Structure 1
């Protein structure tokens, strides 16, 4: 049996035994040192701190996620493995969002400094420190997002469902599809934000009821559309179960970006119909509506009126229904 004196040796062993060129390149691209110096707080002096070794971080992330599934598999606690793994992935997401908030604050201060030039040495030092703070936080955020996306991919492979945080958008690296809140999509005006939160490409609208059994029927249909529209973006009504959940799992498997239109509760009883109008506002090039409630009927009617090519999938089309 191989023995290890410290975690770094163990992580290196796992990294070597589970070599994955794609993952390695993703981690190496995320764990970049933008400067020889690092600054994590506006009140702290810059320090010569290195980024963690990307291979060791990759191995540690995979071990943390995969081990939880492995040790609980085939036991009475196996049903809880997915919940625990979701919590791990969500922790990466929460920390990444916190870093992003600090990065935004630093960027705002940097912008204020740039607009109020002062030839003094104090101003020059503050400007340099703030720029270094922005760069350091940017690097930490990108690294944390990389770890989150890796954890999310392990979660997807093990559970068959895409990881999606409780709230907020998850803009992914190359590992997984992006789950994008509709309000982020509609609110993003600046070009940099648009590149992240408003992906360019033809939109395919999707909605369905919360009860559905024939997963293959929907996956095959979506595969057919993607074959014709390779750069498609999926816009859904963001329901946590049923047809939308099937579509989200398909998108995660195929690397398709998803815009989730959640209900705007401030709209009261009109919320679902307002959501339909917002989906229509994206000018979808094609749509899939699965039999569900009056909400799906309303969306299908509006899509027809707009001349959008429409696929209606009925409950009776399911193999389970046909074989009954």
Structure 2
């Protein structure tokens, strides 16, 4: 049974093969350029040389190169739309699990489209090169410019784009979180405000002295110790990142998943401070020490919650 391209895509979509968990790796540039594009040109056009169809080599080669160019352009537009969606979702984020999931999905889609667009860019440039080698003519797409539309820009358009780019950079800089992450967790029944403020002040000063950097606070937004720590961050003008447990997605494991997210290597946490703690906080401390991250454990002066020391 034969399938056309459209029905093949529909079949893949129907059986869920486009889910991100089933995403396959993208071939490296050498494979894209040589084993895919160059060999495709050779397989399609090589047998036409010296035949009555030799005159068709040029339009067929041009058509193949144009298909890849147009697909790259379409993906670039989709990438821009996804970037705009991420900006809108980040701006309207209300802390709910629905908002969090939508933002994460948009970011994953952006990364996927970005990687595919880059691969198509490599393929389209190789196709243009193959066309030029095959025909001896420079490749010019049927519509638009091969490299960029900037060659046709007026001075006013160019200045307008520079202005927008400057605005985007300034907006990004104002939203950027400076410093190193400090993770805080602890007992939900902790009530001693002074102790948390005092120890966090000390840790902040120590990191400033050793690294010459400000910290930003990472926590799960829980009650007790984490709520007091969040108040400390606001009082000191410290940025903070709240890692919400995704109960619907992870069930009872949600707080432990949050621990893993905060300890992810991409954040490079400066340390962990535990004010008392329950099983979740102790799990955080254990995982942090396993990663070689410094953990400070502070006992509750009231004696209502005491963390267990690592033996």
Shared fold by TM > 0.5? no
> Under TM normalisation by the shorter chain, which class is it?
0.3 to 0.5
Normalised TM-score (structure 2): 0.41
Please report the TM-score for the alignment, with normalisation by the length of structure 1.
0.40
The structure number with the bigger radius of gyration is 2
